[in-house]
Amino acid sequence: MTLLSLEGVTRHVALPDRPPLEILRGIDLVVEAGDRVSIVGRSGSGKSTLLNILGLLDQPTTGRMRFDDEPVLLLSARRRDRLRALAVGFVFQQFHLIEGLTALENVQMPLLYGSGAHFWRRDRLARDMLDRVALGHRADAPVTTLSGGEQQRVAIARALVRAPRLILADEPTGALDLETGATIMDLLESVARDSHAALVTITHDVAVAARAERMHRLEAGVLSPAQQVAEVAA
């Protein structure tokens, strides 16, 4: 079942006294439910711009995009925000945890704005998620006392606590050493698989990209499928 599809998607930015900047050009991409996809690109290739579109944070300038069979460009901003909150979990390079809060409170954050059932069960749901990332014993620790790898595990628990159908991971291992990064990818893939969520990883790290079932290369705003690691590394 197709979760997300983009057809001929572009993103232009208006610049004063100059023609618009074409950041993304003719992007075609299909993400199936439970898929594992990676997108590799150098700095400035348009990765963040594409991630914002995939995560319903920004709109394409032109083209077609469907999320869960809904035409994204025709949705109201309110409906799009709701769809994002329900269906998308984000994992970032710099974790983006709230420093004054504990691990448990961070994981509960997305549940504060969810349905009543989520809200009232937030303690149990967040503790279960922390158990799944093997951090149940640190639930009450302030996140600032955790290591980088542990903080990323909290961020993964937070991204998954509302059981999103799409997880967007933006350089998820970028702030971690090699070994911790590999452990984090193992964990991210396994919790995504258990939750039947599709995982789209955006990275410049070819080893991380090669873990996906399907690789793509983004170059100067053009996305192309890559069969082999050598194609994304080139």
Classify strands 62-67 and 2-15 as parallel, antiparallel or unpaired. antiparallel
The C-alpha atoms of residue 143 and residue 211 are separated, in whole angstroms, by: 29
220 is a site residue for ligand ATP (CB under 6 A): no
> Which residues are 70's β-sheet partners?
67
46 is a site residue for ligand ATP (CB under 6 A): yes
90-125 CB burial, b ≥16 within 10 A, e <16: bbbbebebeeebbbbbbbbebbeebeeebeeebeeb
Footprint (CB under 6 A) of ligand ATP, residues 2-41:
13, 21, 23, 41
169 is a site residue for ligand ATP (CB under 6 A): no
Footprint (CB under 6 A) of ligand ATP, residues 48-87:
48-49
The C-alpha atoms of residue 188 and residue 97 are separated, in whole angstroms, by: 17
Binding segment for ligand ATP (CB under 6 A), chosen from 46-54, 77-85, 133-141, 192-200, is 46-54
Query: Who contacts 78 (Cβ-Cβ below 8 Å, separation ≥6)?
Result: none
Nearer to ligand ATP, 62 or 190 (CB): 62
Size of the site for ligand ATP (CB under 6 A): 11
Nearer to ligand ATP, 211 or 217 (CB): 217
Nearer to ligand ATP, 1 or 14 (CB): 14
Footprint (CB under 6 A) of ligand ATP, residues 139-158:
none
43 is a site residue for ligand ATP (CB under 6 A): yes
173 is a site residue for ligand ATP (CB under 6 A): no
What's the closest the beta carbon of residue 6 comes to ligand ATP, in angstroms?
15
In the block, residue with structure tokens 């069979």 = 69
Nearer to ligand ATP, 150 or 170 (CB): 170
DSSP 3-state of 114: coil
Cβ-contact 152, 91 below 8 angstroms: yes
Beta carbons within 10 angstroms of residue 78's beta carbon? 8
Q: Tell me, what amino acid is at 234?
A: A
List the one residue from 47, 80, 153, 211 that touches ligand ATP (CB under 6 A): 47
Cβ-contact 11, 20 below 8 angstroms: no
Nearer to ligand ATP, 7 or 22 (CB): 22
Nearer to ligand ATP, 41 or 63 (CB): 41
Interface ranges with ligand ATP (CB under 6 A): 13, 21, 23, 41, 43-49
